[in-house]
């Protein structure tokens, strides 16, 4: 991954984390990694644990950012969520998988779309 793409992704994750915290969610973990992959954000929403995939694109020319969440990515995130929960020793009432799309704008803040229970 290029330095520029990494910077765009990091920017999007920061914007998404801030947006979700403003909505009342609590960040439990960021960029959690294991041998099988990475979870961008793990949050608490009341009694629920939320695993959030952040997709940032500089334009929507190739479709919305969430279109990059493929069925393979969904399966990987579900597996990673179970690993995170086991390592954290947390048994939540519910778990949820959200996607946050971030589209930086030339003026003003970024356009942020929070897709709750995306899959």
Q: CB–CB of 46/74 below 8 Å?
A: no
Whether the model pTM is above 0.85: yes
Structural domains of the chain, ranges and CATH numbers in brackets = 3-115 (3.40.1350.10)
How many residues belong to the chain? 119
pLDDT at res. 55: 96
Residue-level pLDDT at 109: 84
pLDDT tens track for 75-84 = 999 999 999 9
Average pLDDT over residues 96-118: 94
- Average pLDDT (99-115) is 92
Average pLDDT over residues 30-59: 96
Report whether pLDDT(6) > 90. Answer: no
pLDDT for the residue 62: 83
Kindly tell me the number of DSSP H helices and DSSP E strands found in the chain: 2, 5
| Sheet containing 111-115: order of strands | 26-34, 37-45, 48-56, 95-103, 111-115
Check: CB of residue 56 under 8 Å from CB of residue 8. yes
pLDDT at 1 over 70: no
What's the whole-number average pLDDT of the chain? 94
Radius of gyration from C-alpha coordinates of the chain: 14
For position 110, what pLDDT does the model report? Answer: 92
């Amino acid at each position: 991954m290029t330095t520029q793409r990494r910077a765009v992704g990091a920017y999007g994750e920061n914007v998404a984390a801030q947006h979700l915290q403003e909505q009342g969610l609590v960040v439990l973990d960021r960029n959690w990694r294991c041998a099988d992959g990475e979870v961008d954000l793990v949050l608490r929403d009341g009694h629920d644990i939320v695993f959030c995939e952040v997709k940032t694109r500089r334009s929507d020319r190739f479709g919305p950012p969430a279109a990059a969440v493929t069925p393979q990515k969904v399966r990987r995130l579900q597996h990673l969520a179970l690993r995170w929960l086991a390592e954290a020793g947390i048994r939540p009432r519910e778990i949820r998988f959200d996607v946050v799309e971030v589209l930086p704008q030339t003026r003003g803040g970024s356009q942020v779309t929070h897709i709750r229970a995306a899959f």
